[in-house]
């Protein structure tokens, strides 16, 4: 999943970025509202982690700039203001969730995951499709109850395909959501990862992850 | 919860003071008036009594006649029954000048009416004890007896001179005086009651605006001070109180709002580095396999902690300056030299980076380019003002420092170009943590510099004025001559 972190404090921005990458997200960052809004408008992010107090353009203005867009990412607002009025204002302006500083990093990750699930219409914290179970919180994938040994990138790709279960996902979409803007992969990195995933899924791997020639890949609903 | 101040036992009510003083004054006036009336009436009664005695004496004298050598006294009880009545009779006695008795009233009994030494007085009044123990008053007068036949020739005997004394009891007069006294007292009492009621109503009516003023102030919500107080129509005497109160409330509201903003800003500014410490440390705890990342995180934590420490120190310094007095060590300070030294220090701290600073120091041309000031305080103020200008100046612009001296003191002016400001921002320049761009404080700038400079300058008796003209911000530090 692709996350954009807009935060002007360098220590906060860098730490959040590193932490979310470690959790398997593809993360881009911006240090002011203008740069952040530009990135958000031009890239398909799943979640925006948006600080309220930003230079050049504050969080409220960024939200306003994203409204009325068709594929608007979910927004998690970060702020040091904990007043009810501030929370209500943020939510009314389009934020999907609100986190008051200082916060536990684990809570940030949990809220981001919840927003990702909401974005794809999921209500459960465990994604189950046929014999496969994905536990995003613990970064575990189980096939017929057996734990799969997956790298961070492999898990992220499998998770993305499962959340888009039944839909054809193009290579470009996979690149956008799994890799950050600064980490453009080699042209066949997606295909290589798909191959590795199929191998680790075993005999049913090819049936679970199907190729749509010329279009992309689809995670089948049933084997 | 309403808090009432303890009222000292000596606290007095305007109403009670007015009422008591007015009533006491009225009572005294009425008492005085009553006494005056009483004594006037009493004197009048006494005079009337004496006139009556005089009439009675004349009446007795008119009954005296001389026929030849004989003296005739045509008195009868029927003619003058007052001398014969059984209860409270009057008295008379007639004597020759040599003291020989002539006639006396039966009411005298065995007593005599002998006047004290009359001297040369033709008539003599005196008070005496009458027979029977009654208080009385007597009149004695020597009269010439009329001849019965005045046509008698020159051989007629000389007219006899007779001492006539009449006396009456004063019971009626005393009773009348008592009646007058009681009437005066009763009238004064009734008047006092009527005036008291009228005074009470008048005082209540007069104090109604003051009560309304107190009611308006009492109903004010101290947590939400109104911008304008509606006192309604007020008398001229209360208008200064209302106007001053309104001004005080307005200023208090402004001060409370500034305090709330400052408190919120301080909380926000402190939360930010705390958030950084929490996030950086939590992420670093999971980076066991990346020692370089952990080392970098520790460095970041250290830098943030130092920044917090500097911010807290600045806040404490600001709080101390605002609450305590400043012990100034004044001496003659070369202001131009101090400004140059501050600038050099700032350039050194910035490793030579930052906007150019242009000095327009005229002080060097003047023989007395010094000010009488605390050098440490002056250095702190100048440092904060210049550092602020250098920080917010656009990178391609220069900061201008001007210095002027005149008979009234020195004026240090620092100008920098800063876009995006407007006139209404000037009032908030020296507010803690305020900045036009609402982003948090950056790594090197706490947002307290101008606040510190303002408070310190005020303590030292200096002035700091802000001005904005066409994107050019001017801060002028005024140091008066000693």
Which residues, in sequence order, are bridge partners of residue B414?
Answer: B401, B475
Residues of B in contact with A22 (CB under 8 A): 283, 286-287
Q: Looking at the complex, report in whole angstroms how far the Cα of residue B433 sits from the nearest Cα belonging to chain A.
A: 13
Residue linked to tokens 């007597």? B138
Backbone dihedral angles phi then psi of residue B357, each to the nearest 5 degrees: -115, 125
Backbone dihedral angles phi then psi of residue B444, each to the nearest 5 degrees: -105, -10
CA–CA distance, A15 with B293 (Å, rounded to integer): 10
Test B439 with A16 for CB contact under 8 angstroms.
no
- Classify residue B93 as exposed, middle or buried by CB count within 10 Å of its CB (0-12, 13-18, 19+): buried
Q: How far is CA B377 from CA B332, B401, B403, B457, in A?
A: 13, 19, 18, 8
Residues of B in contact with A16 (CB under 8 A): 279, 283
Confidence at B47, pLDDT banded by 50, 70, 90: very high
Q: Looking at the complex, report in whole angstroms how far the Cα of residue B269 sits from the nearest Cα belonging to chain A.
A: 8
B263 contacts chain A (CB < 8 A): no
pLDDT digits (tens, 9 = 90+) for B9-21: 666 788 888 888 9
A97, A50 Cβ separation under 8 angstroms: no
Residues of B in contact with A5 (CB under 8 A): none
pLDDT of res. B366: 41
Residues of A in contact with B293 (CB under 8 A): 18
Q: Looking at the complex, report in whole angstroms how far the Cα of residue A108 sits from the nearest Cα belonging to chain B.
A: 10
- Report the residue of chain B nearest A99, measured CA to CA: B275
For the cut 70, the answer to whether the pLDDT of residue B300 exceeds it is yes
In three-state secondary structure terms, A148 is coil
- Report the residue of chain A nearest B294, measured CA to CA: A15
pLDDT of res. B8: 64
Test B272 with A101 for CB contact under 8 angstroms.
yes
For the cut 50, the answer to whether the pLDDT of residue B350 exceeds it is yes
In B393-452, the residues whose Cβ lies within 8 Å of chain A are 437-440, 443
pLDDT of res. A186: 61
Which residues, in sequence order, are bridge partners of residue B135?
Answer: B129
Put simply, whether the predicted model's pTM sits higher than 0.90 gets the answer: no
Per-residue pLDDT of chain A (223 residues), as tens digits, is 899 999 988 899 999 999 999 888 999 999 999 999 999 998 889 999 999 888 888 888 899 888 766 678 899 999 877 677 777 888 888 889 988 888 889 889 989 998 988 877 655 567 787 788 888 777 888 888 889 999 888 888 898 888 888 888 888 778 777 776 555 556 677 888 888 888 888 886 667 888 888 888 888 865 4
- Classify residue B217 as exposed, middle or buried by CB count within 10 Å of its CB (0-12, 13-18, 19+): middle
Strand (E) or helix (H) holding B361:
strand B357-361
Q: How many CB atoms lie within 10 A of CB A67?
A: 9
B285 contacts chain A (CB < 8 A): no
Average pLDDT value for residue range B425-436:
72
Residue A40: CB partners within 8 Å, gap ≥ 6?
A4, A6, A48, A62, A65, A66, A73
Backbone dihedral angles phi then psi of residue B418, each to the nearest 5 degrees: -145, 115
Instruction: State the Rg of chain B over Cα.
Output: 53
Q: Is B189 left (phi over 0), alpha (psi -120 to 50) or beta?
A: alpha
Residue among A9, A22, A108 minimizing CB distance to B286: A22
Residue linked to tokens 């005229």? B362
CB burial of A90-128 (b: ≥16 within 10 Å; e: otherwise) equals: beebbbbbbbbbbeebeebbebbbbbbbebeebeeeebe
Test A105 with B282 for CB contact under 8 angstroms.
yes
Residues of B in contact with A9 (CB under 8 A): 272, 275-276, 440
Chain A positions contacting chain B at CB under 8 Å are 8-12, 14-16, 18-19, 22, 32, 53-56, 58, 80-81, 101-106, 108
Test A80 with B275 for CB contact under 8 angstroms.
yes
Interface probe, candidates A102, A103, A107, A111, chain B, greatest B C-beta count within 10 A? A102
Test A55 with B437 for CB contact under 8 angstroms.
yes
Average pLDDT of chain B is 83
CA–CA distance, B319 with B69 (Å, rounded to integer): 124
Residues of A in contact with B299 (CB under 8 A): none
Confidence at B178, pLDDT banded by 50, 70, 90: very high
Residue B166 vs residue A126, higher pLDDT: B166
CA–CA distance, B276 with B189 (Å, rounded to integer): 86
pLDDT of res. A223: 43
Residue A220: CB partners within 8 Å, gap ≥ 6?
A130, A165, A166, A207, A208, A209, A210
pLDDT of res. B183: 93
A132, A162 Cβ separation under 8 angstroms: yes
Strand (E) or helix (H) holding B327:
none
Residue among A9, A58, A102 minimizing CB distance to B438: A58
Residue B227 vs residue A105, higher pLDDT: A105
pLDDT of res. B259: 80
The DSSP code sequence of B67-121 is ETTEEEE---TTT-GGGT-SSS--EEEEEETTS-EEEE-GGGTT-----S--TT-
B358 contacts chain A (CB < 8 A): no
In three-state secondary structure terms, B264 is helix
Test A11 with B279 for CB contact under 8 angstroms.
yes
B277 contacts chain A (CB < 8 A): yes
Q: How many cross-chain Cβ pairs, A to B, lie less than 8 Å apart?
A: 78
Lowest mean pLDDT among A97-111, B292-306, B389-403: B389-403
Confidence at B197, pLDDT banded by 50, 70, 90: very high
pLDDT digits (tens, 9 = 90+) for B121-147: 678 899 999 988 899 999 999 998 887
Confidence at B363, pLDDT banded by 50, 70, 90: very low
Test B279 with A105 for CB contact under 8 angstroms.
yes
Q: Looking at the complex, report in whole angstroms how far the Cα of residue B322 sits from the nearest Cα belonging to chain A.
A: 26
CA B375 to chain centroid: 45
Residues of B in contact with A53 (CB under 8 A): 268, 438-440
pLDDT of res. B51: 95
Q: Is B91 left (phi over 0), alpha (psi -120 to 50) or beta?
A: beta
Helices (H), chain A: 10-22, 33-42, 59-66, 84-92, 105-119, 152-163, 171-178, 189-201, 205-208
Share of residues in chain B with pLDDT > 70 (%): 88
For the cut 90, the answer to whether the pLDDT of residue B286 exceeds it is no
In three-state secondary structure terms, B135 is strand
CA B245 to chain centroid: 16
Test A8 with B439 for CB contact under 8 angstroms.
yes
Average pLDDT value for residue range B158-174:
90
Q: Looking at the complex, report in whole angstroms how far the Cα of residue A215 sits from the nearest Cα belonging to chain B.
A: 38
- Report the residue of chain A nearest B269, measured CA to CA: A80
Residues of A in contact with B282 (CB under 8 A): 15, 19, 104-106
B298 contacts chain A (CB < 8 A): no
Lowest mean pLDDT among A8-12, B158-162, B389-393, B428-432: B428-432
pLDDT of res. B367: 42
Residues of B in contact with A104 (CB under 8 A): 278, 282
Which residues, in sequence order, are bridge partners of residue A129?
Answer: A132
Residues of A in contact with B287 (CB under 8 A): 18, 22
Residue B432 vs residue B163, higher pLDDT: B163
Test A105 with B283 for CB contact under 8 angstroms.
yes
ipTM of predicted complex: 0.71
Residues of A in contact with B284 (CB under 8 A): 15
For the cut 50, the answer to whether the pLDDT of residue B95 exceeds it is yes
pLDDT of res. B169: 93
Tokens of B361: 């120091």
Test A101 with B275 for CB contact under 8 angstroms.
yes
Q: Looking at the complex, report in whole angstroms how far the Cα of residue B451 sits from the nearest Cα belonging to chain A.
A: 22
Confidence at B440, pLDDT banded by 50, 70, 90: very low
Residues of A in contact with B283 (CB under 8 A): 15-16, 18-19, 22, 105
């Amino acid at each position: 999943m692709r996350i954009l972190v807009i935060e002007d404090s360098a220590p906060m921005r860098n730490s959040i970025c590193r932490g979310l990458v470690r959790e398997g997200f593809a993360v881009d960052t911006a240090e002011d509202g203008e740069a952040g809004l530009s990135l958000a408008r031009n890239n398909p992010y799943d979640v925006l982690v948006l600080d309220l107090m930003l230079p050049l353009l504050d969080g409220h203005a960024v939200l306003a700039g994203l409204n009325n867009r068709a594929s608007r990412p979910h927004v998690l607002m970060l702020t040091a203001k904990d007043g009810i009025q501030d929370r209500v204002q943020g939510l009314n302006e389009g934020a999907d969730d609100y986190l008051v500083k200082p916060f536990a990093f684990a809570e940030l990750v949990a809220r981001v995951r919840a927003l990702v699930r909401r974005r794809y219409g999921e209500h459960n914290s465990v994604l189950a499709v046929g014999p496969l179970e994905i536990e995003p919180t613990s970064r575990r994938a189980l096939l017929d109850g057996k734990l799969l040994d997956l790298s961070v990138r492999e898990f992220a790709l499998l998770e993305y395909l499962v959340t888009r279960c039944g839909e054809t996902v193009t290579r470009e979409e996979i690149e956008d959501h799994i890799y950050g803007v600064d980490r453009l992969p080699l042209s066949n990195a997606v295909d290589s990862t798909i191959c590795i995933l199929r191998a680790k899924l075993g005999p049913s791997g090819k049936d679970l992850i199907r190729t749509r020639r010329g279009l992309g890949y689809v995670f089948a609903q049933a084997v | 919860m309403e808090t009432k101040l303890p009222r000292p036992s000596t606290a007095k009510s305007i109403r009670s003071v007015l009422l008591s003083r007015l009533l006491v004054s009225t009572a005294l006036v009425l008492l005085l008036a009553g006494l005056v009336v009483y004594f006037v009436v009493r004197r009048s009664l006494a005079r009337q009594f004496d006139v009556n005695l005089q009439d009675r004496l004349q009446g007795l004298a008119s009954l005296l006649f001389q026929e030849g050598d004989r003296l005739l006294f045509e008195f009868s009880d029927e003619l003058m029954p007052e001398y014969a009545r059984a209860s409270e009779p009057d008295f008379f006695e007639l004597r020759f000048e040599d003291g020989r008795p002539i006639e006396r009233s039966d009411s005298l009994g065995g007593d005599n009416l002998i006047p004290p030494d009359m001297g040369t007085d033709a008539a003599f009044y005196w008070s005496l004890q009458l027979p029977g123990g009654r208080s009385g008053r007597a009149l004695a007068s020597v009269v010439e007896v009329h001849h019965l036949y005045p046509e008698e020739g020159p051989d007629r005997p000389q007219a006899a001179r007779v001492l006539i004394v009449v006396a009456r009891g004063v019971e009626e007069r005393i009773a009348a005086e008592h009646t007058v006294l009681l009437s005066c007292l009763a009238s004064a009492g009734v008047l006092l009651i009527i005036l008291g009621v009228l005074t009470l109503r008048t005082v209540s009516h007069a104090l109604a605006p003051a009560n309304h003023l107190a009611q308006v102030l009492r109903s004010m919500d101290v947590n939400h001070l109104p911008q304008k107080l509606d006192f309604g129509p007020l008398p001229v005497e209360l208008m200064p109180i209302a106007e001053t109160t309104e001004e005080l409330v307005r200023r208090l509201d402004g001060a409370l709002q500034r305090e709330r903003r400052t408190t919120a800003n301080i909380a926000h500014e402190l939360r930010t580095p705390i958030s950084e410490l929490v996030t950086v440390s939590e992420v670093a705890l999971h980076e066991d396999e990346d020692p370089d990342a952990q080392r970098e995180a520790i460095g970041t934590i250290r830098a943030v902690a130092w920044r917090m420490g500097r911010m807290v120190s600045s806040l404490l310094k600001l709080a101390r300056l605002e609450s305590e007095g400043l012990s100034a060590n004044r001496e003659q300070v070369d202001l131009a030299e101090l400004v140059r030294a501050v600038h050099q220090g700032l350039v050194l701290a910035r490793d030579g980076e930052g906007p150019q600073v242009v000095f327009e120091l005229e002080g060097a041309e003047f023989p007395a380019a010094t000010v009488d000031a605390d050098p440490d305080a002056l250095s702190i103020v100048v440092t904060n003002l210049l550092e602020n200008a250098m920080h917010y100046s656009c990178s391609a612009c220069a900061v201008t420092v001007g210095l002027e001296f005149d008979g009234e003191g020195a004026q240090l002016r620092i100008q920098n170009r800063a876009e995006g400001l407007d006139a209404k921002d000037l009032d908030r320049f020296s507010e803690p943590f305020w900045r036009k761009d609402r982003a948090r404080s950056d790594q090197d700038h706490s947002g307290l510099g101008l606040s510190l400079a303002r408070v310190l300058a005020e303590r030292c008796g200096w002035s700091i004025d802000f001005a904005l003209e066409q994107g050019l911000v001017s801060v002028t530090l005024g140091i008066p001559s000693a």
